[in-house]
Structures are given as C-alpha cells and as structure tokens.
Amino acid sequence: MSRLKGKYALITGGTSGIGLETARQFIAEGATVAITGRSQSGLDAAGKALGDVLLLRSDAGDIDQQQTLAQQLASHWPRLDVLYINAGDVTHLPLQEWDEQSYRRLMDINLTGPFFLIQALLPLLADPASIILCGSVSAHIGLPLSSVYAASKAGLLSLARTLSGELHPRGIRVNGLSPGPTETPALGKLGLKEEDEQALRDDIRALVPIGRMGTPLELAKAAVFLASDESAFMVGAELQIDGGVGNL
C-alpha cells in the first residue's frame, strides 16, 4: 500500500487507542511517522509496537512545549505533510463537580494546545499539506456529563473551518474527524466513579443506531483518507465516523 508514500506525518497522542492504530496504518501506507505522548513508558511501548517511528515526548496541554515540539520535528524532518491532532482529555463530570483548574487543563489539552501547535508548525508545513483535527460527535449531541469536553471539541471543529479559510492559499487543508463511541482505553479514563462510568457506557450504547461501538481501525482508515491526496477536495469539512449517532 502506498497512499501516503513520501509523506511526513505527525500524530499527537499516538501511544494508544485511535492514535496508535492510525500510526500503524500511516506506516503501512508508506508514511514516515512521528508520534507524541506525555509518558516515556507509553512512548517506548508504542515504539516497540510500531517499529520505525519517531518518538517525541510532549504534553499537549503545555503551551510552551508546542514550540519545542515544532523545533524538535524540524531538526529531524525537511517538512511536514500531515498533522493529526489526536491527543485529548476525555474527562466527563457533572456540572457541579468541575473546578477552574480541571476546566482549564482540559481546554489546554483539547483546544488551546492544538491551536498553538498549528501556529508553531506553520513554517514546516508543506504545500500541499493536510491537518486533521480530532473532534467528537459529542459536539453535536446533548450527552450528559460531557459539557466541557463537548465544548472543547466544538471549538476544535470550528478551527477546522476558520483555519481552512486562512490557510488554504498556502495549500494547507484543515478538516475535522469526529469519532462516535469507540472502544479505546480512554473509556476507562473519564474520571468518573464506577457507577457513573457504567451509566455513561449504557447511555452511549443506547445512542448508537447500529448497536455497537466503533473500533480504532475504523477511525484510522478514515484518517488515512483525510491524510491522503484522495481527500484533496475536502476543505474545512467534518467527517463523522459515529455509527449514525450524529444523525439522530
């Protein structure tokens, strides 16, 4: 397979779940791939699983580290053809349990950090280039406990539209890729009590018209399409891979 042959691709949050599987599929399609992660042990494990991949330790929510990440990448690569902003904080809480610190941390990871990473990478981005922003079907539905998470993803999807208008003259396409309920390790990292997590899982399953959650591979295949030249006419759009949830 060679749909991404010759392309340099960065995936943030690439140590598990959708990010890890996307890295695997990008490599299979011929891309040169770098992934980021906060944990060195997570990066090391991903490196063993993927093989030939550039491992970059970086905190998606630390604004200063976005410039450092761009500098590190520029020291290894001549350009960047694909940027997949995948790292995210999936915390779900009742409204009354949010505090300012937790709110700001989630927004830094899901929205502010990605904005400044794109800014920092501008000099390295090729013409043409594809930026993929990981949204969520939660931005379109009223799922209980998702208020802050959904707001951050709605903001990211708005960036896909507005930055497209700003960057397309430079040959840079920006699109959103919005997963629906997907079986990933993130489901166990929502910050919920056990009974609340189970209730949320039940709510999620009930939302999916086709009766199951998605898989990381299904999302990774969609990311390959958005990264490839096959999607050259997609600009400022959102691709929902959600089992029909967003159509309800």
pLDDT score of 35 more than 90: yes
Residue 124 pLDDT > 90, yes or no? yes
Query: pLDDT grade, residue 247 (50/70/90)?
Result: confident
Q: Which residues contact 95 (CB under 8 A, 6 or more apart)?
A: 147
For residue 25, what are the contacts with CB-CB under 8 A and spacing of at least 6?
A: 217, 220, 221, 223, 224
Q: List the catalytic residue out of 8, 84, 103, 149.
A: 149
pLDDT at residue 213 greater than cutoff 90: no
Which sequence spans correspond to the domains of the chain? 8-239
224 pLDDT above the threshold of 90: yes
What pLDDT is recorded for position 192?
66
Q: Which CATH fold would you assign to the domain 8-239? A: Rossmann fold (3.40.50)
Percent of the chain at pLDDT > 90 equals 83
245 versus 74: which is more confidently predicted?
A: 74
What tens digit of pLDDT does each residue of 133-185 get? Answer: 999 999 999 888 999 999 999 999 999 999 999 999 999 999 999 999 888 77
Contact 149, 44 (CB under 8 A): no
pLDDT of 236 reads 98
> pLDDT, tens digit, for every residue of 161-175?
999 999 999 999 999
172-193 exposure pattern, b = at least 16 Cβ within 10 A, e = fewer: bbbbbbbbbbbebeebeebebe
> Which tops the pLDDT comparison, 5 or 192?
5
Residue 45 has pLDDT above 70, yes or no: yes
Does the annotation count 8 as an active-site position? Answer: no
pLDDT of residue 39: 95
Please report how the helices 147-167 and 113-121 are oriented relative to each other, as an axis angle in degrees rounded to 10: 20
Per-residue pLDDT at 190: 62
The CA-based angle 54-56-70, given to 5 degrees, is 100
Q: pLDDT (tens digit, 9 = 90+) per residue, 187-209?
A: 666 666 788 777 767 777 777 99
